[in-house]
Each structure stands twice: as structure tokens, then as C-alpha cells.
A and B are shown apart, each in its own frame.
Chain A
Amino acid sequence: MGERVGLEVSIAAAEAVKMANVDVIAAYPITPQTHIVEHLAEVVADGELDAEFIPVESEHSAMSVCCGSSAVGARTFTCTSSQGLALMNEIVFITASMRLPVVMVLANRSLSGPLSIWNDHSDVMSIRDCGWIQVFVENGQEVFDHIMFAFRVAESQKVSLPLIVNVDGFILTHVIEPVEFWDAETVKNYLPPFKPVNRLHPDNPVTMGAFGMPGIYTETRKAQDSALIEAKPEILKAWQEMADLTGRHYKPVESYHAEGAETLFLTMGSIGETVSVAVDELRAEGKSVGQLSLRLWRPFPFEEFRQAAAGAKRIIVLDRAVSMGGQGGPVATEIRSVLYKEKNMPVVTNFLCGLAGRDVTVEDYKAMFEKASKMSKRRVREEDYILYGVRE
């Protein structure tokens, strides 16, 4: 393994992209993603990385460039946040349907309006159904590891799908953390050269991105959905091989004191570590509580989630986005559906918190636990989602 250094997580992310030896980077600067692409622009300009850095005029163009470069067989990276993702939305869906293994770091930030640059998950939830593999990480080391993982999985010929690594904006991107770098040999062993399934080349011309008539569209959707579902074995394999190389084990659903716990918190992203502290303190008080962290969001790990949640009486789902006019947060809505067929379905209580960077502390999570414990155990109730901390 390489050395362990303390540095800003954005810089660690950029260094991981550099070590993955990408060929093309196309990105437009947007807070809080900026430090990642600025550093990449530097390493390309300084000749440390032999790649094309394409400074485009918008995110729509950034993702379009990524499609083109990936289609000719270039290892491709982009990075954005919030409004940037909203602007590239059209091409995000097309990248997946064309099965182009572009890797994106999404520095999660709230969507306007009101205009806000701070962290929540409203950006990624807006493209929930885009067909990309989507993972969440909790700390700097996980960011570094998951950039290697991203290229490895996305470019696997059995997968050939784009992949988003969700990194909480500011809360994670801008903090300084200890990160163990991989040495060049480990990267080489883990990440083979990109060999695309199909590519644009004059020797073997193909058409990419053709239109589909009503007579074929349904079949294309089935093929794309199946490809995403069938990516899971490769995802698990990539995590296993990473564990063999680095000693760090990652799973689709991470558990912390979950076994036998009556109440489970469900987290995604960087709030997970704060919740773990709250779980420690609550357990010290004798409370039966544990935690699940959803690392793999798409394809959804149904089997692993049901297994990890088995036996729990209540799940407190912490959502970082509001599904307007719906049933609270997008994650809780989905978790209820996932558990619906279970014999002893746990009560799913949904707290929407940490919107646009509002701090959520250990004390807040403990307060949510106390509040949930006093709530009825019936399955469907009006108070099933609570916008935590909202001033009435």
C-alpha cells in the first residue's frame, strides 16, 4: 500500500482520478465540486497526467463530451453538483442508455431554490432513475477507494454502465482527512486498461445513439434495467478484490451494531459517522439500537437490505431530500416498499434532516431516537415523516 497522508478530500479524489490514469476529463466548475476539477486541471497542465482536460461552456456540454470520449474508448471522468447535474440531466440518461462507462463524482448539494450551495441529496435524488450505478461514501478514504472501484466496475465488459460516486459537498469534499493512497502496483493490479464492448472506430463502424420506434423501445428498457441489476455480482467482486488488496471491506449495506437491535437508523453518505457516535451513546444508555448505511443505492441491494434489517421493529430512515407532495423522503418511501412483503415488517419512521447543510448533531440523532420510540407502532400514520427541526 501507499502512504497515509492528511489532505483535503477533494484533492484526494483528484489524485485518485490521476492514479486511475484517465484519458479525458470534461467538467464545468461549480461549488462545491470546484477543488476536484481545479486540481485535475493543474495536474494535466503540469504534465503529471497525460489526459485531455476539456473546459466546456456548460455541464450539458461536459456530459456530451464525456459520451463522445467514452464512445471512442477513452477512460472518462466528470464531476459536478446540484444545478450542474440538473443542466446535464438530458445527457445523464443518454449516457446510461448507451452503456458508456463514464465515472462521475457528484459533490452533493441542494437544488435551487432558494439558491443554496450547501449539502443535501436533492441533486442525486432528481436522477434516481437515470440508470447509472450509484454509490455513497462516508469519508475521505472511501472516496479514494471508490474512485478506483468506479472505473473498475463501470468499465468491466460485463457491466459497461456509468457510475456516480456521491460525496457530500463541503461536509466531506472540503475537510482534511487521513487518506491511505494506493501504490501504483496496486492500482495496476486492480484496474485493467479500458477495453470497451463497442467503440467508434473506422475499422469497425457502428451507429451509437440511434432512435428507437415504439416497436423496440420497451425491449431497450428491459435490456437496460437488466444490465443494471446484473451489474451487482461485478460490484460485489470489485469490493471483494479491493478487500484482498487493501484490507478494507465494503458492502452494499453496511451494518453497525445492527444484529438484534430493535431500532435501526438508516443513513446514506457522511452523516453515517455522526449517527454511529449517537448509536454508541444510546447503547451505553442501554438502548437497543443499531445502524445500517446504504452504500449501494442503484442497483438497489434488495436481498442484502432485507437480510440486514431482519428482526428490527423500527427503522428510522434519515432522508436528505424532500419528495414534494409525496410521502416524505425518497429513500424512506422506497424502504417501505422494499419491506412491504416482509412477514414482520418494521415500522418505518422518516426524518428529513440536514437539508442544505443544516447541521445535524449527535444530540439531534438521539432526540430523533427518543421521538421515534414514543411514536405509535402502527404501520401507516400521518406523522410518518417529520421535517426535523423545522420552526413551526
Chain B
Amino acid sequence: MAKTPKSELELTWKDLEVGCVISNPGNACQYKTGEWRSMKPVVDKTHCIRCGVCYIFCPDMAVHKTDDGYFEADLYYCKGCGICARECFTGCITMIPEVE
């Protein structure tokens, strides 16, 4: 399937492969898993030692390294589980409530 992948909300029933086979590897990255989040991580860069323990422990690989060497969560995928805040050595990550 060389077509540009459509999002699941654009696909019609005729677009589906026989048996709903997925022939386009890695397309799970299109799923926006960050919608469920009730808390989000906020990093206080003044205390961050850029160790990357949040990056290692994030169960959804939502944390990535930025150009300046710090780490931040991609809120498209971050479910707000709080594991990064719990594991952070310096306590520089705070979970704050999401407000609409």
C-alpha cells in the first residue's frame, strides 16, 4: 500500500485491506493517545540535570531529547501516567492537572 496513509477517521470501509491487515508498518504512531490524559508533566529546567531517566522510563516512548539537551514529553502521545515525575532524581518534573 503505497498510498498516503489516511487517519482512521478518514478511512471508508472500502479503503480497508482484506481482513483489516496492516501492510503499512508503524502506523500505530498515528493514534493520538494523549487524549486520555488528565495530568501533564512540566519540567523545571533550573533543576534538570539532563540525565534522561524520564526518557528511559517513559512506557510510551513519548519523551524525546530536544536540541538544547533537555527532555520533554510529546503531548500527542503522553498519557500523563506520571512515571517520569516519580523517577526523576532531582524532582524537577511536576504533574499538573490538564484544564480544557
Contact = CB atoms under 8 A, between A and B. Distances in A.
A212 B14 CA distance: 16
Interface in B1-51: 8-9, 11-23, 25, 31
A207 B16 contact: no
A317 B19 CA distance: 35
A90 interface: no
A64 to B, nearest CB: 16
A246 interface: no
A344 interface: no
Given A198-B23, A205-B25, A206-B23, A216 B11 contact: yes
Given A205-B25, A216-B8, A198 B17 contact: yes
B9 A97 contact: no
Contacts of A98: 19-20
Contact of B19 (A198, A213, A215, A216): A198
Interface stretch (A5-13, A219-227, A382-390): A219-227
Interface residues of A, number: 24
Given A213-B8, A215-B8, A220 B16 contact: yes
Given A213-B31, A215-B8, A223 B22 contact: no
Contacts of A213: 8, 31
Given A197-B18, A210-B22, A220 B8 contact: no
Interface string A194-234: 00011000001111101011011011101100110000000
Contacts of A226: 13
Interface in A67-122: 97-100
Contacts of B11: 216, 219
B20 A210 contact: yes
Contacts of A198: 17-19, 21, 23
Contact of B9 (A160, A215, A220): A215
Contacts of A216: 8, 11, 16
A206 B12 CA distance: 20
A207 B28 CA distance: 11
Interface residues of B, number: 17
B20 A97 contact: yes
Contacts of A219: 11-13, 15-16
Contact of A206 (B8, B13, B16, B22): B22
Nearest to B7: A215
Nearest to A225: B13
A96 to B, nearest CB: 9
Nearest to B16: A223
A205 B17 CA distance: 14
B7 to A, nearest CB: 8
B18 to A, nearest CB: 5
A227 B19 CA distance: 10
A207 B18 contact: no
Contacts of A205: 25
B100 to A, nearest CB: 21
Interface in B63-94: none
Q: Which of B18, B23, B31 has the most CB of A within 10 A?
A: B18
Given A216-B8, A216-B11, A219-B16, A208 B31 contact: no
A98 B19 CA distance: 4
Contacts of B12: 219
B13 A99 contact: no
A198 B31 CA distance: 24
22 contacts: A99-B18, A99-B19, A160-B18, A160-B19, A197-B18, A198-B19, A198-B21, A204-B23, A206-B21, A206-B22, A206-B23, A207-B22, A208-B22, A210-B22, A212-B20, A215-B8, A216-B11, A219-B15, A219-B16, A220-B13, A223-B14, A223-B20
Closest 10 CB pairs of A and B: A99-B19, A207-B22, A222-B13, A219-B13, A223-B13, A198-B21, A216-B8, A215-B8, A98-B19, A197-B18
Given A198-B19, A207-B21, A210-B20, 20 more contacts: A99-B19, A100-B19, A197-B18, A197-B19, A198-B18, A206-B22, A206-B23, A207-B22, A208-B22, A212-B20, A215-B8, A215-B9, A216-B8, A216-B11, A216-B16, A219-B15, A220-B13, A220-B20, A222-B13, A223-B13
